[in-house]
Structure 1
Amino acid sequence: MIRWFQEVPWSKYATRISTSVVYAITAAVAVNFFYDSGDIYSSGVTGIAQIISKLSEKIIGVNVPLSIVLLLLNVPLFILGWFKISPKFTIYTGMTVGFTSLFMQIMPSQVLSTDPTINAIFGGVLMGAASGYILKSNSSSGGLDFITISIRRKTGKTIGSLSIIFNSFIMIVAGILFGWQSALYSALAIFISGKVTDAVYTKQKKIQVMIITSKADDVIHAIHKKLRRGITIISEVEGAFHHDQKKVLITVVTRYELPMLKQIMHESDPKSFVSISDNVQILGRFYEEDL
C-alpha cells in the first residue's frame, strides 16, 4: 500500500479527493434537503442506513446518527471490494464514504418543499448524478456499488438497472415499516436515481463503430496508440461512386471514449466515413479499465 501511495501522482490524488468531496456534498444535499423532508429513502446502503437510523430511536430509545450507521454498514463491503475489485478502488471509495458521512452529519437538514413528489424527483436526480459522477471517476459511493460493479463485469448489465433491482427490497421494507406512500415515493426516487446514473456514467455504454477509410493503417495505428480496442478489418471493399478501393474497420468503444475516437479520425483520416450504432450488447471479452 505504501508503494501505491508513492506511485500515485499528487495531482491525480488531489483530483480523486475533490471528486469524493463533490459527491459527498451532493449526496448530503439530496438526503438532508429532499429525502428527509419527503420521508423518502435512498438507494443502496444509504437507504438501509436511513431505515436503521430511524428505527433505532423506536427500538433502543436512542437515535443513532445516519453518518455512523452508514460507516458501519460499509465495513464488510470494503472487504468485498478489496478482494473482488481492487485495493486502490476500495481506498478511494473509503475516502468518499468518509466525506459523505461527515457532510451528512455537519450539514443541517433544510425543508425546501413539503411536496413528496418534488422531493423524490430532485433528490433522485441529485443522488443519481452524484453516483454517476463518482463511478465515472473510477471510484464509487460504496455500499451496493461493490456488488453491482462485480456483477456488471460478469453479466454486462448496467449499473443503474442493477441498482433498481437490488433496491426493490428497500421500497418494500419502507412500505411495511413507514407506510406505502413513503415506499412509493422512495421507488420513484430510486428509479430516477438509477436512470440518471446510467445517463452520467457513460463508461458502461458500448457503441459499435464502422469506419470506411482509404488510410486504414494510419487509423489502426492511432486507435491502438490512444485506445485499447481491438479492430476487425474487412479488406478490398469498393466504393460504388468512384469505384475506389477502401477498407472497412469495425470496433467497439464506450460512449466515454467517443470524443477521443472522433479526434483520432479527424487527425488520421478526416475524409473517412464513420457509422455509429448506439447501445450494442457484447458477448465475449471487452477490455475495461481497472478500477
Structure 2
Amino acid sequence: MPLLQTLHQRFRRFSFSAPWNLFLITAGSFLVAFAVKSLAAPFGLLTGGMSGLGLLCFYLFPNLSAGVWYFLLNVPVFVLGWVSVSRRFILYSLYGMTAVTVFIEAIDYVAPIRDIWLAVIACGACMGLGIGMAMRSLGSTGGVDILAVMCKERFNISIGTFDFWFNIAVFAAGFSFLDLHIMLYSLAMTLIISMVTDYCLRIFANRVMVLIISEKPREVLDVVLGQLDRGATVLSGRGGYTGQGKEVVLTMINGIQLKRLEELVYSIDPRAFTIMGSGFHVLGEGFSPRKVY
C-alpha cells in the first residue's frame, strides 16, 4: 500500500507539472488546427471563438492564410492579457496560440469527406476534444479564453457567458457575408463542439460527494482514509425521529472509486445509509488545483 500511495502521489504531482501541461496544450492545439484546416475550411464552415473569426477573415480576405489571420487577431488580445492576468497563464496560452498557428500552417491534409454532415460531426468532435484537452491545462489556446478570463476577473462575467456572446457576434457577421446553409451547418457544428468539450472536462474530472450515516462511523472512516487514500470530515448529526446523536462521514472521491467505497461501507455496516451526489467542481489537495489567472 505505501508503494501504491507513493506512485499515486508522484503521478499527481506530474499531472500538475509543466511537461504535462505542455503536452495537453500541444495535443489540444493539434486537434484544433486539424479540425480547422482539414475539416472546416474545405467546406467553408465557420467555427466559434477566435479560430472562427480567423476563418471568417480568411474567407473574406484570402490573401492571408487562416493561420496568419489567427495569429494576427491574437496579438492585441495577448497585449491586453499581459497586463490583466497572470504571467503563467499568458505564457502557457502564448505557447498554445503559437502551436495552433504553426499546426494550421503545417497541415495541408484535406480529409476525404464528401458529405458535409460528416464533416460537421467530425470537426465538432475533433475541435471539442482539442479544446477540452487544452482547458485541462493551466493555459489555453489563446484568443477568446484570455478575453473571457479578463472579463471574469474584472466584471465577474462567467467564461461560458462571454464565449456565448462572442460566438453570437461572430456568427452574426457570418450570416451577413456567408451562405445561409453553411452558417446553419456551422451552428450545428458549434453545438457539437460545446457538447464534446463539456464531456471531455467531465470524464476526466468526475467527482462524487458521499455522506455516510452508519452505526460504525469510525470503521467507515478508517477504510476511507486507509484503503481509498481519501480525506474525510466527520460531521455531528442527530436522528430526526430518535433524536440520538450520530457521526456522519463526508468524503469526496472520484467516479472510479465509487463502487469500491460502496463495497467497503456495506461490508462493515449492511444497514448504512449513503447519499451520493455530483461534485464536479472540486478544488483542493488530491483533486483539481485552483487556477490563478
Question: Structure 2-normalised TM-score?
Answer: 0.72
Mapped to 1, the partners of 2:143 and 2:230 lie a distance apart of: 33
Mapped to 2, the partners of 1:239 and 1:85 lie a distance apart of: 53
Single out whichever of 182-191 and 20-29 deviates more from structure 2.
20-29
In structure 2, the CA distance between the partners of 1:277 and 1:176, relative to structure 1 (3 Å rule), is same
Q: Deviations over 1:213-257 (max 9, x none)?
A: 5138668978xx967x9x6824244899xx996423557x6xxx6
Partner of 2:182: 182
Query: Residue 41 of structure 1: SS of its match in structure 2?
Result: coil
Mapped to 1, the partners of 2:144 and 2:48 lie a distance apart of: 9
Within-5 A mapping of 1:150-229? 159=160, 163-202=163-202, 208-213=209-214, 214-215=217-218
Partner of 1:142: 142
Partner of 1:27: 32
Mapped to 1, the partners of 2:273 and 2:152 lie a distance apart of: 33
Mapped to 2, the partners of 1:83 and 1:249 lie a distance apart of: 45
Identity, % of aligned positions:
19
Q: Deviations over 1:26-74 (max 9, x none)?
A: 11211122101221011100010111122224xxxxx112212212222
Mapped to 2, the partners of 1:56 and 1:91 lie a distance apart of: 30
Indicate whether 1:47 and 2:52 are aligned: yes
Single out whichever of 187-196 and 137-146 deviates more from structure 2.
137-146
In structure 2, the CA distance between the partners of 1:82 and 1:248, relative to structure 1 (3 Å rule), is farther
In structure 2, the CA distance between the partners of 1:22 and 1:151, relative to structure 1 (3 Å rule), is same
Answer whether contact 1:164 1:190 (CA < 8 A) is retained. Answer: no
Q: Deviations over 1:195-230 (max 9, x none)?
A: 1111111388876543335138668978xx967x9x
Partner of 1:60: none
In structure 2, the CA distance between the partners of 1:209 and 1:165, relative to structure 1 (3 Å rule), is farther
Mapped to 2, the partners of 1:80 and 1:263 lie a distance apart of: 47
Answer whether contact 2:24 2:134 (CA < 8 A) is retained. Answer: yes
Mapped to 2, the partners of 1:169 and 1:195 lie a distance apart of: 20
Within-5 A mapping of 1:80-95? 80-95=80-95
Q: Report the AA paired with residue 135 of structure 1.
A: M
Query: Residue 167 of structure 1: SS of its match in structure 2?
Result: helix
Within-5 A mapping of 1:230-245? 233-237=235-239
Mapped to 2, the partners of 1:281 and 1:19 lie a distance apart of: 20
Q: Report the AA paired with residue 75 of structure 2.
A: V
Answer whether contact 1:164 1:194 (CA < 8 A) is retained. Answer: no
Query: Residue 127 of structure 1: SS of its match in structure 2?
Result: helix
Mapped to 2, the partners of 1:193 and 1:50 lie a distance apart of: 16
Partner of 2:5: none
Unaligned runs of 5+ in 1: 1-7, 58-62
In structure 2, the CA distance between the partners of 1:288 and 1:84, relative to structure 1 (3 Å rule), is farther
- Give the length in aligned residue pairs: 264
Unaligned runs of 5+ in 2: 1-12, 283-287
Mapped to 2, the partners of 1:126 and 1:108 lie a distance apart of: 17
Answer whether contact 1:93 1:141 (CA < 8 A) is retained. Answer: yes
In structure 2, the CA distance between the partners of 1:33 and 1:274, relative to structure 1 (3 Å rule), is farther
In structure 2, the CA distance between the partners of 1:127 and 1:210, relative to structure 1 (3 Å rule), is same
Query: Residue 19 of structure 2: SS of its match in structure 1?
Result: helix
Query: Residue 42 of structure 1: SS of its match in structure 2?
Result: coil
Mapped to 2, the partners of 1:84 and 1:69 lie a distance apart of: 24
Q: Deviations over 1:97-155 (max 9, x none)?
A: 11110010011041421322211111011111111111112321211112334566786
Mapped to 2, the partners of 1:288 and 1:156 lie a distance apart of: 21
Answer whether contact 1:34 1:123 (CA < 8 A) is retained. Answer: yes
Root mean square deviation of aligned Cα: 4.1
